[in-house]
Structure 1
Amino acid sequence: MRLASRSAPTALRALLLLVCLAVGAAACAGTAPTPAAADDGPYVFRAEGSKLDAVWICDGKLVRTTRPARDGATIKPRCGYPHPLVIPAAIEPGEAPLAPGARIVALSDIHGQYGLLVRLLRAHHVIDGRDRWALGRDHLVVAGDVFDRGPGVTEALWLLFQLQQQARAAGGAVHFLLGNHETMALYGSLRYVNPKYVATAERLGRSYADLFGPDSVLGGWLRTRPVLLKLGDTLFLHGGVSPENLDLVAAMDATNAGYQRTLGMPREQVKADPAIARLYDSKASPVWYRGYFNGQLDTPGVRALVAKLGVARIVVGHTTIGEVASFHDGKIIAIDSGIKRGKSGQLLFIDGDTLSRGLLDGSREPLPALLDVPDDPE
């Protein structure tokens, strides 16, 4: 099994972003997927005097509004995210446990494909026709990588932010786990950032990472998000658990707190501290590991690892399979179904001991068991 090389596309993206930064947003206008892609927002910041400052870019113009930062403050849409936003006074930390009989629905690697995300969630009645939570007391898990690549990152983040509040009120839960692209974007790596957001940051006079700083509503929320999540007998994370990092799962609360505390820390500072660098290492860390799919671990090795963790299975994204499928005798469930390509996607359903996948047309089918990983051209 092997993974396709990403070096050439990465180099092209990096070159494009350097041009954008050097000559301004106008040079990148032609790279937007549609004319409407230039619209962006809102970015909402907590300002002095207990106020919320919201800013959009609509038709190339800066639009601002200010609201009192009281609990449940509503921000009406101008452009970008199409629904009113309800902003709580504070973000509730912690992840709700799985109630007896509740189902789990999971997906990963949305990568700014907001329209496709909405289609998939509507098709399986996770959300209704107004994009509101419709799954009752069930749980939705997004296993990382909402950021980068596509033009709908802001919209996808706000949708999940709102669904989390709505699910909590209904007795369910939305869990958004941090992936490597969240950590990259917030420590200043622009390799995969859509040029639209380079232009937005330039227009707002901030770095891209600062659009999600601690003073922003989304930035504050992201700093409450975990990397590791156990629901019932299933462990969820973005990349995977390497054999040398079993202790990070044993101390899950401390590991999640470590990510939350360091999210947005400059990359150079992250690399300089061995204790922190371990969380972000591009080969073995929980947000990067690919060892279940590239031959580092065979099936007996995976079975032994899962047994040591005391779970029935591990669900991961990160490695693009192009479909939701099981590997290593069902001990690994891969859920990066290629949503980033903008054409299709799938959901994982866990209903007790029964696992299935949901397709874009709303149908369901059993999980296939795969042995090999298809090459990913991106």
Structure 2
Amino acid sequence: MSCYRPSLMTALLLPLLACATGAAQAREVAAPADHVQADGPYVFREGTQLQARWICADKVESRTLAAGAAGTDIAPRCGYEHTVHVAAPDAASVSVLPATPRIVALSDIHGQYGLLVRLLRAHQVIDAQDRWALGKDTLVIAGDVFDRGPQVTEAFWLLYGLQQQAAAAGGAVHFVLGNHETMVLYDDLRYVNPKYLRSAQLLGRSYPQLYGADSVIGQWLRTRPVLLKIGDTLFLHGGISPEAVQLALEPARTNAAYQASLGLPKAEVKADPATAPLYDGKTSPIWYRGYFDGRLDTAGVQAVLDRLQLKRIVVGHTSMPHVSSFHGDRVIAIDSSIKNGENGELLFIEDGRLSRGLLDGSRVPLAPGEPGLQD
């Protein structure tokens, strides 16, 4: 079970200091793998050029391309099997959007790219070529692509490409940052798959530097939100505590502060009253678990919803056996344990109606969840 002491280090950056004698300290960084068969591409911006690098049979391969004004296509080599279209750097993402008739949501992919593809294909979110097939509808991913599984790179490129394809079709893909994105960017590598530590060795960068501000995916991550409001539904990774309601009352300001803080020295982030609550285990929207551990009852949840003028809050972070309803549909938990690589589900919100999308492509009603905590 996670430690809840309200420490900046514990909550987000390097959760070793405040919980040094607790469970957070027990896990150590793995040794790098001996061999990486295929990984990449890792794409970096260098002036007017793009530098693409792959790991093929434990050897580095590179290609330099011009960064075209209309974007640049990078053909597959090793790792991700599809052509990557690198667009111009993203502007900061939106924080508040009007209601849309259909939203599909999931979270906590944790490197399980194969399972992600199966699930999205089963519900016609993507087609057999893994291209956007949801038309003008919306897909939300509530954080945590990094860590644990062996295909983090592929999962990021799939989502990056789907965002472009959805926009061209009049739909939308929104990726909301999770705690594992921030952990990796701040060099907490305790959950990184050994494959990626070997890739970093071969490429001559630390693993966080593979997602630095000069990398295509790193820049994209630094423009993603931590809070996304669509109509009367708030999407985020962890949750909003009663003490942190003000953060959600001003989502654009909160998102901008969080994005600007990534990569700043830890002491500076902790000292700034605008960013300290974002990194505090009791208040951080990417770490909070109070909807499920008894800290907040249904009346407390409703009070948060009333303050924010919401109907529901949709969160990942706390693993469940299936997409689950808590507090009378006021909180929907969408971390369906995809990280285990065995099963996963989608949440469908269609004109206010809620349902679960199963791995076999079927749809079933949303079921009440049972309280429980997992990493």
Give the alignment's TM-score, normalised by structure 1.
0.90
Range with greater deviation from structure 2 (38-47 or 261-270): 261-270
- Partner deviation per Cα, 1:52-95 (whole Å, 9 max, x = no partner): 00001111010000110002210001111110011112324333
Residues 95 and 229, structure 2, Cα contact 8 Å, conserved in 1: no
The alignment partner of 1:330 has SS state of coil
Which residue of 2 is the match for residue 113 of structure 1?
112
Query: In 1, distance between residues paired with 2:260 and 2:243?
Result: 22
Which residue of 2 is the match for residue 79 of structure 1?
78
Query: In 1, distance between residues paired with 2:304 and 2:251?
Result: 16
Query: In 2, distance between residues paired with 1:179 and 1:96?
Result: 15
The alignment partner of 2:55 has SS state of strand
Which residue of 2 is the match for residue 32 of structure 1?
none
Query: In 2, distance between residues paired with 1:210 and 1:264?
Result: 11
Mark the runs of 5 or more structure 1 residues left unpaired by the alignment: 30-34
Which residue of 2 is the match for residue 166 of structure 1?
165
Q: Deviation of residue 166 (structure 1)?
A: 0.2
Which residue of 1 is the match for residue 319 of structure 2?
320
Query: In 2, distance between residues paired with 1:113 and 1:96?
Result: 27
Mark the runs of 5 or more structure 2 residues left unpaired by the alignment: 4-18
Which residue of 1 is the match for residue 11 of structure 2?
none
Which residue of 2 is the match for residue 373 of structure 1?
371
State the one-letter code of the partner of 1:336. Answer: D
Q: Deviation of residue 366 (structure 1)?
A: 0.4
Which residue of 1 is the match for residue 294 of structure 2?
295
Which residue of 2 is the match for residue 249 of structure 1?
248
Which residue of 2 is the match for residue 343 of structure 1?
342
The alignment partner of 1:190 has SS state of coil
Query: In 2, distance between residues paired with 1:266 and 1:339?
Result: 33
Query: In 1, distance between residues paired with 2:188 and 2:241?
Result: 24
Q: Deviation of residue 374 (structure 1)?
A: 3.7
Query: In 2, distance between residues paired with 1:45 and 1:96?
Result: 27
Query: In 2, distance between residues paired with 1:296 and 1:258?
Result: 27
> Does 2:38 match 1:57?
no
Residues 123 and 360, structure 1, Cα contact 8 Å, conserved in 2: yes
State the one-letter code of the partner of 1:278. Answer: P
- Partner deviation per Cα, 1:99-132 (whole Å, 9 max, x = no partner): 7653100000001111100000000000000000
Which residue of 1 is the match for residue 237 of structure 2?
238
State the one-letter code of the partner of 2:292. Answer: F
Q: Deviation of residue 8 (structure 1)?
A: 8.9
Query: In 2, distance between residues paired with 1:308 and 1:178?
Result: 23
Which residue of 2 is the match for residue 132 of structure 1?
131
The alignment partner of 1:275 has SS state of coil
Query: In 1, distance between residues paired with 2:174 and 2:264?
Result: 23
Whose helix proportion is higher, 1 or 2?
A: 1
Residues 323 and 337, structure 1, Cα contact 8 Å, conserved in 2: yes
Residues 326 and 334, structure 1, Cα contact 8 Å, conserved in 2: yes
The alignment partner of 2:187 has SS state of coil
Range with greater deviation from structure 2 (197-206 or 174-183): 197-206
State the one-letter code of the partner of 2:289. Answer: R
Question: CA distance change for structure 1 residues 319 and 101 in 2, over 3 Å: closer, same or farther?
Answer: closer
Question: CA distance change for structure 1 residues 182 and 375 in 2, over 3 Å: closer, same or farther?
Answer: closer
Give the alignment's TM-score, normalised by structure 2.
0.90
Q: Deviation of residue 264 (structure 1)?
A: 2.9
Question: CA distance change for structure 1 residues 9 and 115 in 2, over 3 Å: closer, same or farther?
Answer: farther
Which residue of 2 is the match for residue 330 of structure 1?
329
Residues 110 and 146, structure 1, Cα contact 8 Å, conserved in 2: yes
Question: CA distance change for structure 1 residues 64 and 119 in 2, over 3 Å: closer, same or farther?
Answer: same
Q: Deviation of residue 214 (structure 1)?
A: 1.0
Query: In 2, distance between residues paired with 1:364 and 1:270?
Result: 44
Question: CA distance change for structure 1 residues 97 and 132 in 2, over 3 Å: closer, same or farther?
Answer: farther
Q: Deviation of residue 198 (structure 1)?
A: 1.2
Question: CA distance change for structure 1 residues 346 and 129 in 2, over 3 Å: closer, same or farther?
Answer: same
